[in-house]
């Protein structure tokens, strides 16, 4: 226990890794085989050891010290140089695995990269380009060049953000639905304006959920109303609401979608970094390249900043992709629960979102099936949590739409007589799917 405590303290300081003659993580225990020969002989594997976590891979690699006979021409290395080498080795190994979930160490390590392992007292090196080397002047200069390239990319992205923000004030519209299906509905509900609702929000079977216009525009009007009250009551600033209202109705939803479009950029960057294996600078460069490609595309500059249901669908998918594919640092059942919640909101925004969220749900399930420990039980847990969260959110949205379109009395009647609920509840995705499945409706 004392040896374990000392090793943990040493590992907390990256610079002290170079002082260790050799540390391995074997049989679930962290140990120094040089000081625990009996324990090492009992725990050594008969086949190459495959570390699971970033910490295990970091400490399984050989450390370089001034007295290490295996360092070749580094006998005269100073303690400062050894500390810098240990820092580089630790950071590279941990950066490669920084996007793994807390429970991803249980997954099948078929993708683990090579390192130095101990097999019956022998040292083996698995090939994957992970052999350590002392940093040279050229590698340090390359790092400086990469950092400057990243800085240039960030400046270019900032310029693109300014262009996108300026595009929010562009007059005109791309399609009438930009106003009819979001702005007008939200302005009537939040600001109390008299408008003519489109056919999707009227009739016995509404084809649009009430949550879509309020996520696209309604919350921005509510935020403006709160700011207006604060300026008038707290700051004692008197504003002519009649003169400001047209600009608020026009700009507030676009500014809200501008903030949402930033999630698209972050999702693209994080997913690109998750798909690239290499040093931290390489992954950052790949992420920024993908981010610039997304930020400079015309759909983002023109469509993503407008209160379309398609734009809202893209933002929700981006959030789901970040949760599923990036580094949420959550257990898989939490990922599936969050994915079920976001998927329900996305489908109630546009029923076509089901095609987008299905691959993410499949990826979460296959990730649980790759667990080393109880894969079947883990997959069942992930599935149950995701499905139950989706169903609970869907029922809440059905109740919300029923109250919005038919009043609270209709919901009370359904609760009192659940057998006659069909025809009383409002399921907007089902109504939209049924309407668009009719060829006659599409032809007209």
pLDDT, one tens digit per residue, over 103-156 is: 444 444 444 433 333 333 444 444 444 444 444 455 556 677 878 888 899 999
- pLDDT for res 145: 80
Cα angle value 171/257/436 (rounded, 5°) = 90
Q: In whole numbers, what is the pLDDT of the chain averaged over residues?
A: 74
Dihedral over alpha carbons 393, 398, 404, 408 (to 10 degrees) = -100
Contact assessment for residue 61 and residue 89, using Cβ atoms and an 8 Å cutoff? yes
- Our measurement of the distance from residue 413's CA atom to the centroid of its chain's CA atoms, rounded to an integer in Å, reads 41
CA distance 321 to 406: 35
- pLDDT for res 140: 58
The two tokens of residue 342 are 């976001």
Question: What average pLDDT score do residues 414-423 get?
Answer: 78
Cα angle value 83/87/88 (rounded, 5°) = 120
CA distance 408 to 414: 10
DSSP per residue over 193-262, as a string?
A: ------GGGSSSS-SS-THHHIIIIIHHHHHHHHHHHHHHHTS-----HHHHHHHHHHHHHHHHHHHHHH
Write out pLDDT tens, residues 154-195: 999 999 999 999 999 888 888 888 888 889 999 999 888 888
pLDDT of residue 4 exceeding 80, the answer is: no
| Strand spans (E) along 103-185 | 116-119, 122-125
pLDDT of residue 244 exceeding 80, the answer is: no
- pLDDT for res 215: 92
**Which 3 state secondary structure label does DSSP give 381?**
helix
Block residue for tokens 């070749």: 72
The angle, 0 to 180 degrees and rounded to 10, between the axes of the packed helices 280-295 and 137-167 is 20
Which of 130, 15, 10, 106 has the alpha carbon at shortest distance from 53? 106
- pLDDT for res 5: 65
- pLDDT for res 121: 40
- For residue 128, the tally of other CB atoms under 10 A from its CB is 12
pLDDT of residue 444 exceeding 80, the answer is: no
Contact assessment for residue 122 and residue 33, using Cβ atoms and an 8 Å cutoff? no
pLDDT of residue 404 exceeding 70, the answer is: yes
> Which of 81-85, 160-164, 193-197, 224-228 ranks highest by mean pLDDT?
160-164
The two tokens of residue 153 are 């990319």
Q: Is the dihedral of CA 355, 357, 363, 364 positive or negative?
A: negative
Q: Phi and psi dihedrals of 234, rounded to 5?
A: -90, -55
Question: What average pLDDT score do residues 61-85 get?
Answer: 41
Contact assessment for residue 113 and residue 130, using Cβ atoms and an 8 Å cutoff? yes
371 DSSP assignment = B
- pLDDT for res 299: 92
Does residue 346 come out as left (phi exceeding 0), alpha (psi in the -120 to 50 range) or beta? alpha
pLDDT of residue 265 exceeding 90, the answer is: yes
Q: Is the dihedral of CA 419, 423, 424, 429 positive or negative?
A: positive
Write out pLDDT tens, residues 333-380: 888 899 999 999 999 999 999 999 999 999 888 888 877 667 888 889
Percentage of the chain beyond pLDDT 70 is 66
Q: Is the dihedral of CA 258, 260, 263, 265 positive or negative?
A: negative
pLDDT of residue 390 exceeding 60, the answer is: yes
């Amino acid at each position: 226990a004392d040896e374990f405590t000392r090793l943990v303290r040493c590992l907390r300081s990256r610079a002290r890794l170079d002082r260790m003659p050799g540390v391995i993580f074997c049989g679930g225990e962290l140990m120094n085989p040089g000081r625990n020969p009996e324990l090492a002989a009992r725990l050594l594997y008969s086949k190459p050891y495959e570390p699971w976590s970033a910490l295990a891979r970091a400490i399984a690699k050989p450390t370089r010290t001034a007295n290490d006979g295996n360092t070749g021409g580094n006998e005269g290395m100073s303690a400062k140089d050894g500390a810098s080498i240990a820092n580089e080795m630790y950071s590279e190994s941990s950066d490669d695995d920084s996007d793994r979930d807390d429970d991803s160490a249980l997954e099948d390590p078929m993708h683990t990269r090579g390192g130095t392992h101990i097999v019956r007292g022998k040292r083996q090196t698995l090939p994957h380009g992970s052999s350590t080397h002392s940093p040279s002047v050229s590698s340090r200069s390359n790092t400086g060049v990469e950092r400057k390239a990243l800085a240039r990319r960030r400046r270019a992205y900032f310029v693109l953000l300014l262009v996108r923000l300026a595009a929010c004030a562009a007059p005109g519209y791309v399609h009438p639905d930009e106003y009819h299906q979001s702005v007008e509905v939200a302005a009537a509900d939040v600001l109390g304006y008299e408008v003519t609702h489109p056919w999707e929000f009227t009739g016995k079977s509404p084809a649009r959920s009430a949550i879509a216009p309020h996520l696209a525009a309604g919350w921005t009007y509510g935020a403006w109303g709160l700011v207006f009250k604060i300026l008038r009551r707290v700051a004692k600033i008197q504003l002519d609401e009649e003169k400001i209202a047209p600009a608020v109705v026009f700009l507030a939803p676009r500014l809200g979608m501008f903030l949402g479009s930033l999630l698209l950029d972050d999702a693209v960057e994080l997913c690109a970094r998750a798909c690239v294996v290499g040093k931290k600078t390489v992954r950052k460069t790949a992420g920024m390249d993908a981010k610039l490609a997304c930020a400079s595309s015309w759909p983002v500059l023109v469509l993503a900043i407008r209160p379309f249901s398609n734009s809202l669908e893209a933002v929700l998918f981006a959030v789901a992709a970040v949760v599923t594919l990036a580094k949420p640092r959550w257990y898989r059942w939490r990922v599936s629960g969050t994915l079920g919640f976001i998927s329900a909101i996305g489908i109630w925004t546009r029923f076509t979102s089901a095609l987008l969220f299905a691959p993410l749900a499949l990826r979460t399930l296959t990730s649980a099936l790759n667990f080393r420990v109880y894969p079947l039980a883990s997959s069942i847990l992930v599935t149950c949590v995701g499905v139950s969260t989706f169903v609970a959110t869907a029922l809440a949205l059905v109740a919300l739409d029923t109250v919005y379109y038919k009043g609270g009395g209709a919901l009370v009647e359904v609760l009192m007589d659940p057998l006659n609920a069909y025809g009383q509840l409002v399921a907007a995705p089902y109504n939209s799917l049924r309407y668009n499945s009719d060829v006659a409706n599409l032809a007209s």
